[in-house]
Amino acid sequence: MIWIIIPIIILAILASCIKIVPQAQAYVVERLGAYQGTWHVGVKFLVPFIDRVARRVTLKEQVVDFAPQPVITKDNVTMRIDTVVFFQITDPKLFAYGVENPLMAIENLTATTLRNVIGEMELDQTLTSREIINTKMRAALDVATDPWGIKVNRVELKNIIPPAEIQNAMEKQMKAERERREAVTRAEGEKRASILQAEGEKQSAILKAEAEKEAAILRAEAEKEKRIREAEGQAEAILKVQNAKAEGLRMLKEAGADEAVLRLKSLEAFEKAADGQATKIIIPSEIQGIAGLASSLKEIITK
């Protein structure tokens, strides 16, 4: 029975000596209490009863949120600030043997560094210079934690909590600033509306004036066209009358009419003139002669 148990025990011991190091982890191995080496990802073998894994270290980036710390600004205002530190272990040996409690060491180092940085700044500068504070703290912590095999990648101020009376004053100031901005916005809106209204009225007046101008031009052109057509009509009528008269004279001339006939035509024209409403008629001497000639002709015909 013993010969069966002994091999089982030996196999169990050998199996316990086989170690598999997972990804993003490292094992710190000691031999007889002294540092032997650092194992990274893969299958590793321990020497039974001599070697042991002293510490398992994760190489992934870690985040630690520290509780709010009381700090005093340059102008003697006490406030509370909590920070978030992003760090990564770069050397497992230094991390295992550099400091007893690395997380507590980082927390205390963060608190003291934060007090030093804030102590050089006034309240207003502290509230508006988060990026500057983060940069200063990251640089200081990275230098301080380097002997511990830790690299500080980022430091962020999560909350800045000033005293209650300062918070009330800040809220009143923010409210007044917000009301001032709203008043300025309303004034600018009213000004913009007035400008737009004035521009609209101006544009309307311009369009109205242009419409009246175009209407006047069209009326003038219509009146001008009317007068031109009337003048053309009168000229055409006069031309037709003159052409008719010229045609009549031409026909008389072609018919061989003598001076007596022409004078009789003049007498007919005089007769038409006498048909009007005139109360006084002036008879030219030539027509009187024609009248005498007509009387003489009448007497001759009668005899």
Question: CA-to-CA distance for 298 and 303, rounded, in angstroms?
Answer: 9
Same domain membership, residue 103 and residue 39: no
Q: Per-residue confidence at 231, pLDDT binned at 50, 70, 90? A: confident
Record the pTM: 0.54
Percent with pLDDT over 70 in the chain: 81
pLDDT for residue 85: 93
Least confident of 67-71, 136-140, 208-212, 237-241: 237-241
| In a domain? residue 291 | yes
pLDDT digits (tens, 9 = 90+) for 94-146: 999 988 888 899 999 999 999 998 888 888 888 888 889 899 999 999 999 99
| In a domain? residue 227 | no
Same domain membership, residue 54 and residue 109: no
| In a domain? residue 17 | yes
| Residue located via tokens 């007596």 | 260
CATH number, domain containing residue 148:
3.30.479.30
| In a domain? residue 126 | yes
**What is the amino acid identity at position 284?**
P
Q: How many domains does the chain have?
A: 3
Same domain membership, residue 77 and residue 34: no
DSSP 162: -
Question: CA-to-CA distance for 41 and 25, rounded, in angstroms?
Answer: 7
Same domain membership, residue 39 and residue 75: no
SS3 assignment for 77-106: CEEEEEEEEEEEECCHHHHHHHCCCHHHHH
Question: CA-to-CA distance for 104 and 49, rounded, in angstroms?
Answer: 33
Nearest CA to 73 out of 154, 140, 161 is that of: 161
Most confident of 160-164, 210-214, 299-303: 210-214
Same domain membership, residue 95 and residue 44: no
pLDDT digits (tens, 9 = 90+) for 31-82: 888 899 999 988 888 888 888 888 999 999 999 988 888 888 888 888 888 8
Same domain membership, residue 84 and residue 127: yes
Count of alpha carbons within 13 angstroms of residue 86, beta-carbon side: 10
| In a domain? residue 173 | no
**What is the amino acid identity at position 259?**
E
| In a domain? residue 199 | no
Same domain membership, residue 67 and residue 41: no
164-171: Cβ within 8 A, 24+ apart: 166/77, 166/79, 166/123
Range of the domain at 25: 2-58
pLDDT for residue 7: 75
